[in-house]
Amino acid sequence: MTPKIQSVRGMNDILPDEAEFWDMFEETIRSWLKSYGYRPIRLPIVEPTPLFKRAIGEVTDIVEKEMYSFVDSLNGEALTLRPEGTAGCVRAVIQHSLLAQQPQRLYYLGQMFRHERPQKGRYRQFHQVGVEAFGFSGPDIDAEQILMGARLWDDLGLDGISLQLNTLGQPAERAQHRAELIAYFEQHRELLDEDGRRRLYSNPLRILDTKNPDLQQLIAAAPRLTDHLGAESLAHFEGVQQALRDAGQTFTINPRLVRGLDYYNLTVFEWVTDRLGAQGTVCAGGRYDGLLQQLGGRAAPACGFAMGVERLITLIREAGGETRAAAVDVYLVHQGTNASRLAARVAEGLRDRGIDVLFHCGGGSFKTQMKKADASGASFAVIIGDDEADAGEVTLKPLRTTGDRPNQQKRVGVDVVADEIMNSILDRDDS
Ligand code: ATP
Ligand code: MG
């Protein structure tokens, strides 16, 4: 037998039962974003490799070991499957001068690729909703973006997601802290793991972000950036906190929150749940004022966040959220040449009225067709045999019992079947 070809490890198919649920999730996401004035942007999945090296940082987990990079065999260009969306979004904003006239609130939704060890909540192809605001420098936008999360958890029926907040200050402030951190970790060199020793001089801040439990004690006692923050950075941080308090949003300040990408400054935040085991961060973001200039654009303030769609969907399903989209309204059963031709016209007529129709294909007896109609979950079967066709009528059969009304089928004229169905749907939705 020919061997089967399987999907790539860590890259999952999303089958129809689940994909319908994703569609509903995406609808919620889009209307939530619209309610804050965010507009969609669609970006390529493949970008030039130097974009990510420059944006995310050479000495980060993502760039060092998680990127799917390859050389385009046709022209030798170094390309990478995007591991995150901010870099590409900033590239597009610069390339198309989107900030020339006004600030921008943008979002995108789609696949990201990272070569990580697959486990629950961690995949090699996963999806993010990315939300970015360009051209706003005050703490008000940081707070708005954070509070957007709270509204979404509510819209999605999720609770138990808590907010962690930190500030990374500005590059000069970080440089002082960095020197102190290096000195501290040098003193305790023997306690560091291999990654830590390797990063000691290249990126000591990243050591604070390690997932290695053996290092947590060492990290807890490390010098804090807060001690190096100037008045402006402190005021920005205080502004964000004030807005959160005004909105009644509780949060925890976590000085160890540093994020796995190098482009952040000032505000960073994560929304975290303890219901997903080790993969508990469902949303993460912050300010990245330096990135536009770093990628060759004119300097402009920016902040944003990304949400892990798989993790959110797991949470919603575990919370017992609605996991199936509504089935079609009508299953169209038909047999006989004239009947089938009439049925095709009836189906299109119903769709003209906004009624969803599953048209039976493949023939078969009325009995087998009716079985399929039942299994489809449709609310009605519309049945057309030669008898009905000759009379210019259809048989309308409710397939779901609604309230105490009898489930009786009836013959109705071809031109009123849509009205009959619409009325029953309205009745049903009222009761
Ligand atoms: P982690 O610390 O879990 O590796 P990260 O800091 O690398 O996360 P970000 O780059 O901030 O993650 O991405 C934002 C969000 O995208 C994460 O909070 C998470 O919900 C989701 N995410 C990141 N990597 C993966 C992955 N490999 N599989 C599924 N979701 C992911
Ligand atoms: Mg990661």
Atom of ligand 1 nearest to the CA of 123: 28
10 Å Cβ neighbour count for 293? 12
Cα 311 to Cα 315: distance, rounded to the nearest angstrom: 6
Paired sense of beta strands 125-134 and 104-113, if any: antiparallel
Tell me: do 355 and 286 sit in the same domain: no
The total domain count for the chain is 2
Cα 214 to Cα 111: distance, rounded to the nearest angstrom: 33
Q: Is 52 in the pocket of ligand 1 (CB under 6 A)?
A: no
Quick one: which ligand is closest to 285's CA?
Answer: 1
Task: For residue 93, give both structure tokens.
Answer: 């904003």
Cα 105 to Cα 74: distance, rounded to the nearest angstrom: 37
Cβ(128)–Cβ(107) below 8 Å: no
Tell me: do 309 and 398 sit in the same domain: no
Q: What is the pLDDT along the chain (431 residues), one digit of tens a residue?
A: 899 999 999 999 999 989 999 999 999 999 999 999 999 999 999 999 999 999 999 888 899 999 999 999 999 999 999 999 999 999 999 999 999 999 999 999 999 999 999 999 999 999 999 999 999 999 999 999 999 999 999 999 999 999 999 999 998 998 899 899 999 999 999 889 998 988 888 888 888 878 888 888 998 899 988 889 999 999 999 999 999 999 999 999 998 888 767 788 999 999 999 988 888 999 999 999 999 999 999 999 999 999 999 999 999 988 886 655 678 999 999 999 999 999 999 999 999 999 999 999 999 999 999 999 999 999 999 999 999 999 999 999 999 876 656 668 999 999 999 999 999 888 777 76
Mutate to test the pocket of ligand 1, among 128, 129, 132, 153 (most ligand atoms within 8 A of CB): 128
Residue 208 placed within a domain: no
Burial of 288 (0-12, 13-18, 19+ CB in 10 A): buried
State residue 403's pLDDT score: 61
Task: For residue 325, give both structure tokens.
Answer: 């989209």
Residue 123 placed within a domain: yes
State residue 321's pLDDT score: 66
Look at phi and psi of residue 46 and say left if phi exceeds 0, alpha if psi is from -120 to 50, else beta. Answer: beta
Tell me: do 123 and 256 sit in the same domain: yes
Cα 429 to Cα 431: distance, rounded to the nearest angstrom: 6
Tell me: do 111 and 155 sit in the same domain: yes
Instruction: State which residues form the domain around 393.
Output: 330-423
Say which CATH number the domain at 277 has: 3.30.930.10
Say which CATH number the domain at 341 has: 3.40.50.800
Tell me: do 402 and 287 sit in the same domain: no
Atom of ligand 1 nearest to the CA of 83: 10
Cα 147 to Cα 139: distance, rounded to the nearest angstrom: 12
Longest dimension (CA), the chain: 94
User: Residue 195 Cα, ligand 2 centroid: separation in angstroms?
Assistant: 15
Cα 306 to Cα 269: distance, rounded to the nearest angstrom: 11
User: Residue 61 Cα, ligand 2 centroid: separation in angstroms?
Assistant: 7
Q: Is 260 in the pocket of ligand 1 (CB under 6 A)?
A: yes
Quick one: which ligand is closest to 308's CA?
Answer: 1
Residue 262's nearest CA partner among 13, 87, 383, 40 is: 87
Quick one: which ligand is closest to 86's CA?
Answer: 1
User: Residue 121 Cα, ligand 1 centroid: separation in angstroms?
Assistant: 9
User: Residue 259 Cα, ligand 1 centroid: separation in angstroms?
Assistant: 10
Q: Which of 293, 318, 343 is the last residue of a domain?
A: 318
Residue 244 placed within a domain: yes
Cα 145 to Cα 150: distance, rounded to the nearest angstrom: 9
User: Residue 403 Cα, ligand 1 centroid: separation in angstroms?
Assistant: 46
Cα 205 to Cα 289: distance, rounded to the nearest angstrom: 18
Residue 205 placed within a domain: no
Residues in the chain: 431
Cα 20 to Cα 241: distance, rounded to the nearest angstrom: 38
List residues bridging with 397 in a β-sheet: 381
10 Å Cβ neighbour count for 59? 15
User: Residue 285 Cα, ligand 2 centroid: separation in angstroms?
Assistant: 13
Residue 213 placed within a domain: no
Quick one: which ligand is closest to 281's CA?
Answer: 1
Residue 122 placed within a domain: yes
Q: Which of 275, 294, 318 is the last residue of a domain?
A: 318
Mutate to test the pocket of ligand 1, among 114, 263, 271, 281 (most ligand atoms within 8 A of CB): 281
Tell me: do 107 and 145 sit in the same domain: yes
Q: Is 114 in the pocket of ligand 1 (CB under 6 A)?
A: yes
Chain position carrying tokens 């019992």: 401
Q: Is 84 in the pocket of ligand 1 (CB under 6 A)?
A: yes
Task: For residue 237, give both structure tokens.
Answer: 């941080």
Quick one: which ligand is closest to 262's CA?
Answer: 1
User: Residue 168 Cα, ligand 2 centroid: separation in angstroms?
Assistant: 19
Tell me: do 264 and 406 sit in the same domain: no
Tell me: do 292 and 348 sit in the same domain: no
Residue nearest to atom 8 of ligand 1 (CA): 281
Tell me: do 311 and 392 sit in the same domain: no
Atom of ligand 1 nearest to the CA of 116: 27
Tell me: do 237 and 378 sit in the same domain: no
The 3 state secondary structure assigned to the chain is CCCCCCCCCCCCCCCHHHHHHHHHHHHHHHHHHHCCCCEECCCCCEEEHHHHHHHHCCCCHHHHHHCCEEECCCCCCEEEECCCCHHHHHHHHHHCCCCCCCCEEEEEEEEEECCCCCECCECCEEEEEEEEEECCCCHHHHHHHHHHHHHHHHHCCCCCCEEEEEECCCHHHHHHHHHHHHHHHHHCHHHCCHHHHHHCCCCHHHHCCCCCHHHHHHHHCCCCHHHHCCHHHHHHHHHHHHHHHHCCCCCEECCCCCCCCCCCEEEEEEEECCCCCCCCEEEEEEECCCHHHHCCCCCCCEEEEEEEHHHHHHHHHHCCCCCCCCCCCEEEEECCHHHHHHHHHHHHHHHHCCCCEEECCCCCCHHHHHHHHHHHCCCEEEEECHHHHHHCEEEEEECCCCCCCCCCCEEEECCCHHHHHHHHHHHHHHC
Cβ(330)–Cβ(375) below 8 Å: no
Residue 304's nearest CA partner among 266, 331, 337 is: 266
Tell me: do 255 and 312 sit in the same domain: yes
Q: Which of 318, 342, 360 is the last residue of a domain?
A: 318
Residue 140 placed within a domain: yes
Tell me: do 277 and 132 sit in the same domain: yes
Residue nearest to atom 29 of ligand 1 (CA): 122
Chain position carrying tokens 């009905």: 388
User: Residue 66 Cα, ligand 2 centroid: separation in angstroms?
Assistant: 9
